[in-house]
Amino acid sequence: MKLSTDLTLSKFLNTETLAAYYELTKPGITLTVLASMLIGFILGSGNGIDYMLMLHAALGTWLIASGTAAHNQFMEWRYDGKMKRTQKRPVPASKISPRQSVFFSLGLIIGGLIYLILVVNYVAGLVSLLTTLIYLGIYTPMKRISVANVFIGAIPGALPPVGGWAAATGHLGSTAMWVLFAIVFLWQVPHVMAIAWVCKDDYSTAGFKMLPKDDPKGYKAVALILPCLFLLLPVCYGLYWVDMNSWLYLAGSLLSSLVFLYYGIIFTRDRDKPSAKKLMFASFGYLPAVWAFVIIDLLLL
């Protein structure tokens, strides 16, 4: 019995296995979630940041975000195995069994939720729980039912700064907090649509209902993408309007939004994979740029 336990533990502690579990947490996406949460926490803190509380909020958010990403991969591992860009993920590649991924993901989700409620505050915990429930319970299954999944998925994607604000303040009653939510929500629609266009063949093979499949000429995609890109301009102005940030942030965020809009206009003109790829890479840089201007503004002015 002891030998069997030792072998199981040895297998779990194997470097390749640990790397597979780490990959299961989608570290790139989790880092984006953490960054957005920290922006909400910092702005919600005003002039007095509780760094220990911020550390606790970051740890709890990392746990539940990692678990959510891992459980999403469990739910979709059969479909991931049909797509070139995802077939090497840990579960479809048999690096980790579906059963192992379930225990791992649920452990992280439950652990993160308990940690946030007990160590940070219950409001931050409830926001994170809501994020996970919408992402796994509505968005993930809807990807195979309706193209409306883009807007449903944008809700949990935009909640991390709300969770950060809640962690710092214990409440959700702030205009600035909802401006942060709107920035991330509006960013996500062109971001996801661009990825869907670049990977439309893969999505179609796996049976996902992404818009390009029913929109070969891209007119519907343009109708969704352009309004969001235009709306980012006044929404980014919102943080300046409520006196959360100064002209430095305003100039940087508006410039970033104009660059993002420029690539959206290129996609509007061409409506093909190359222009979608340009928009996709522009979306990768947009949110980090806006958050960087928020921080630089706070540090310098």
The pLDDT score that the predictor gives to residue 5 is 53
Query: Same domain for 149 and 264?
Result: no
Amino acid identity, position 290: V
- Structural domains in the chain (count): 2
CA distances from 197 to 139, 191, 220 (A): 19, 10, 12
For position 46, which CATH number holds? 1.10.357.140
- pLDDT tens column, 142-183: 888 888 888 999 999 999 999 999 999 999 989 999 999 999
User: Domain for residue 43, yes or no?
Assistant: yes
pLDDT of residue 237: 96
Nearest-CA neighbor of 127 among 10, 33, 203, 202?
A: 33
Domain end (from 171, 186, 217): 171
What CATH number is associated with residue 256? 1.20.120
Which residue is listed with tokens 């030998």? 3
Confidence at residue 2, expressed as pLDDT on a 0 to 100 scale: 54
H/E stretch holding 157 reads helix 149-158
Structural domain range at position 264 = 174-301
Residue that is last in its domain, among 171, 200, 217: 171
Structural domain contains residue 7:
no
Is 220 part of any domain?
A: yes
pLDDT at res. 13:
59
Considering the entire predicted model, what is its pTM? 0.90
Residue 36 has a pLDDT of 97
Q: What 3-state class would DSSP assign to 25?
A: coil
Residues 6+ apart with CB under 8 A from 101: 24, 70, 71, 73, 74, 77, 90, 91
Domain assignment present for 55? yes
**Residue ranges, the chain, pLDDT below 50:** 1
| Shared domain check, 141 and 28 | yes
| CA gap 207, 173 in Å, rounded | 40
**Whether residues 277 and 292 fall in one domain:** yes
Position 107 in a domain:
yes
Please answer whether residues 18 and 11 qualify as being in contact, where contact means their C-beta atoms are separated by less than 8 angstroms: no
Query: Which of 137, 154, 171 represents a domain boundary (last residue)?
Result: 171
Whats the size of the chain, residue-wise?
Answer: 301
